[in-house]
Chain A
Amino acid sequence: MKILIKGGTVFDPSAGTLRDLDVLIEDARVIKVESGISGRGAIVLDASGMLVSPGLIDMHVHLREPGYEYKETIATGTAAALSGGFTAVAAMPNTNPVADNPAIIEFIRKQAAAAANARVYPVGAITRGLEGNVLAEMGEMHAAGALAFSNDGRPVVSAGVMRRAMQYARMVGVPIISHCEDDTLVDGGVMSEGLTASVLGLKGIPAAAEEVIVARDLLLAETTGCALHVAHVSTAGSVRLIREAKRRGVPVTAEATAHHFVLTDEAVAGYNTSAKVNPPLRSRTDVQAVLEGLADGSIDVIASDHAPHADYEKAVEFDQAAMGLVGLETTLGLVFTYLVEPGVLTAAEALTRLTANPARILGLPETVLKPGAVADITVIDTHCEWEVDPNRFLSKSQNTPFAGFKLRGQAVATIVAGKIRKHSGVRSQ
């Protein structure tokens, strides 16, 4: 079967270019990228005025399976991914049981294959049970398909354990993704420290709770030579530390989430538990620093940190509410509305942070639309205006602080291995 994506503007992350070209797909692969390709014998997607990008990759997602299927399953989470334009996601290991052994990694891959939605790249735990003591079997998990290791959600407390983890991960040849958070500085805090927390009477989390661990892990990456990826950077101090470390040649990359470059801690006003997230939403200064970090390349990746929770886990006292928000179906719109439209990033720069950069970090094949490449493609209508309605999410959960936001930019077709898995709004002939 052939599919022709006609009349769109093709993004090439390897060159950073946007060119008006047609893309012809046969079976799972791209076979031709030229202008004026004939649509004879092919399904034709009219992509006039749209961006045609290598498939978007969200390298920070919680799919909740196994163990928390009431929040999300691999099937619903990957359906949400497709809906949001992502052809692949990296699944964090804080499941139950924890993804700290090859059997769980294989289970996740099997469930993903059965769902046949977006691709799933499992991330294994750094330590057994995420407990921070004993290294998990990184080699075995890597052989089973884990592409990175992280104790996301339950950071490695001991610097000694983290150092050994980095020494070991370097041997395996995979990055450590660090959720940087010092629990003694968090000390029961539930939102960012600042005026809003003071007025609401909620315990604040200082910026240093993130920054001291960013600094620690940068030093450990520098001395071990392990590739370190700093997850969900939220403070100005973290951006500065990462920028300086990169300049020094430390093997570090970093990601920012859409909520950390769009919202401030003021979103929590009124005890809005949908804005309760870890790391917490920060000050205007921090948001500005994250934007600058994205613009100057200190931050390499945009990820959602998609963290679904059931309604009843959010409709409680703020102190009791679960942390996290769903982001797979809003990230792309937020990127175009809050980064591309105001000129923080060009469309090409933004898409690089959603394609080539996460692919490079996870050791995936180059994301580029050229003959022979696997046909993972996202077609984006950058002009389409839409309003966020959580009731229309394909995710099992609706916990988003963006309900009612008017966004511009949406995926209209998501193609995985040459199959159109999501298709809305594209005129086909």
Chain B
Amino acid sequence: MSIKHLLGLEHLPVETITKILDTAGPMKQIISRDLKKVPTLRGKAVATVFYEPSTRTRLSFELAAKYLSADTVGLATASSSVVKGETLIDTARTVAAMGVDVIVLRHPMSGAAELMTRYTDAYVVNAGDGMHEHPTQALLDMFTILESKNRISGLKVAILGDILHSRVARSNIWGLTKLGAEVHVAGPPTMLPAGLEQLGVRVYDRPEAALEGADVVMALRLQLERQRQGLIPSLREYARLYGLNAERLALTKDDAVVLHPGPMNRGVEITAEVADGSRSLITDQVTNGVAVRMACLYLMTVGDASREDID
């Protein structure tokens, strides 16, 4: 099986998700070796095109490509012709015209990755588009959950925080529900998107009900600008009402685990005690991110001949 573009989990079949998660295991072993290099993607070129600041996602993709022996180049907004007003479409054409096989795109607007696929022959990986999706983050979250729980089906997963603006939440909702988890989300009413219940998600405006008996808790990063936008009165009140602390964590199952997509605002959406505590898998998530991205790049560029066009 192979994937052409990886734009989101909404339209990705369960078998493909499972295939990626299965492939990430062997990839993780490569990372733990002394000699972290396999020749699988030798001769392939991967470009990371980031229109938004990012450290871990970009580093994670570049390392994933390098561990597989692909050549990598990076384009960041500040140093590129993007500041001169070049459109996304022109950038897509330009990068592809230089022979790049895979474009990893991070963009502040929803739908940017899909738009790019219409104007380039290169494979496109969505590394986060606006509020839409961040599929590799959800895949690494699911891989981390699998490592710890050996299953996803039947688990109760609570996602806390700014659901409205979160592409991580959206990708996780698609992926987790496809694999049979029960997803509960909670956040301030000003940060809850309309209509989520129609996707089979339970929605709460206080975190306690979502946390009750949960197997997995995912705390989302609160963009600090949300306070300036008037969506919450203060960070202090947010931390008090929605922050993941030891007291709230006690509502979950005894063996519940804690995830966070990073970077964290310690003391806002999560206390240091929980973030650095024994239930936290946040460091594993970072390692797993590289493994999952290796799996994605591998399946996209080195598949069987019959590629299916999956978005």
Contacts and interface: CB of A to CB of B under 8 A. Distances in A.
Contact of B110 (A271, A315, A316): A271
Contacts of B199: 195, 199
Contacts of A139: none
A271 B194 contact: no
Given A195-B194, A315-B89, A320-B109, A201 B115 contact: no
Interface stretch (B31-39, B126-134, B239-247): B126-134
B132 A193 contact: no
A364 interface: no
Contact of A317 (B115, B131, B194): B115
B88 interface: yes
Contact of B132 (A195, A200, A315): A200
A105 to B, nearest CB: 36
B164 to A, nearest CB: 8
Given A317-B88, A320-B109, A201 B167 contact: yes
Contacts of A198: 170, 193-196
Nearest to B165: A201
Interface in B222-268: none
A191 to B, nearest CB: 10
A271 B111 contact: yes
Given A194-B194, A195-B198, A315-B89, A200 B111 contact: yes
Main secondary structure of the interface of B (DSSP, over half): mixed
A196 B193 CA distance: 10
Interface string A304-332: 00000000000111111000000000000
B: contact size bracket = 20 to 34
Contacts of A319: 109-110, 130
Given A194-B194, A271-B115, A318-B110, A201 B89 contact: no
A175 interface: no
A194 B89 CA distance: 28
Given A199-B10, A199-B170, A270 B194 contact: no
B117 to A, nearest CB: 11
A319 B112 CA distance: 10
B133 A317 contact: no
B55 interface: no
B195 A270 contact: no
B198 A201 contact: no
A318 B195 CA distance: 21
Given A193-B194, A201-B170, A202-B131, A316 B87 contact: yes
Contacts of B132: 200-202
A201 B195 contact: no
Nearest to B174: A199
B195 A194 contact: yes
B114 interface: yes
Interface in B35-81: none
A413 interface: no
Interface in A70-126: none
A320 B107 CA distance: 13
Contacts of B115: 271, 316-317
A96 to B, nearest CB: 21
A271 B115 CA distance: 8
Contacts of A316: 87-89, 115
Contacts of B198: 195
Nearest to B132: A201
Interface in B102-119: 107, 109-112, 114-115
A271 B194 CA distance: 18
Interface in B185-230: 193-196, 198-199
A155 interface: no
A195 B198 CA distance: 8
Nearest to A206: B194
Given A200-B132, A316-B87, A316-B88, A195 B195 contact: yes
B179 to A, nearest CB: 18
A204 interface: yes
Interface in A184-234: 193-204
Contacts of B110: 200-202, 271, 317-319
Contacts of B170: 198-199, 201
B230 to A, nearest CB: 10
A79 B106 CA distance: 44
Q: Which of A195, A197, A317 has the most CB of B within 10 A?
A: A317
Contacts of A320: 109
Contact of B114 (A194, A199, A271): A271
Contacts of A199: 10, 170, 199
Contacts of A271: 110-111, 114-115
B133 to A, nearest CB: 7
B65 to A, nearest CB: 26
A196 B194 CA distance: 9
Nearest to B129: A201
Given A271-B111, A315-B89, A201 B130 contact: yes
A155 B240 CA distance: 40
Interface in B1-52: 10
A271 B114 CA distance: 8
26 contacts: A193-B194, A195-B198, A195-B199, A196-B195, A197-B193, A198-B170, A198-B193, A199-B10, A199-B170, A200-B132, A201-B129, A201-B131, A201-B132, A201-B133, A202-B110, A203-B131, A271-B111, A315-B89, A316-B87, A316-B88, A316-B115, A317-B109, A317-B111, A318-B110, A319-B109, A319-B110
Given A270-B114, A315-B89, A317-B112, 9 more contacts: A193-B194, A200-B111, A201-B130, A201-B131, A201-B167, A316-B87, A316-B89, A317-B111, A318-B109
3 smallest beta-carbon distances between A and B, as pairs: A195-B195, A201-B132, A201-B131
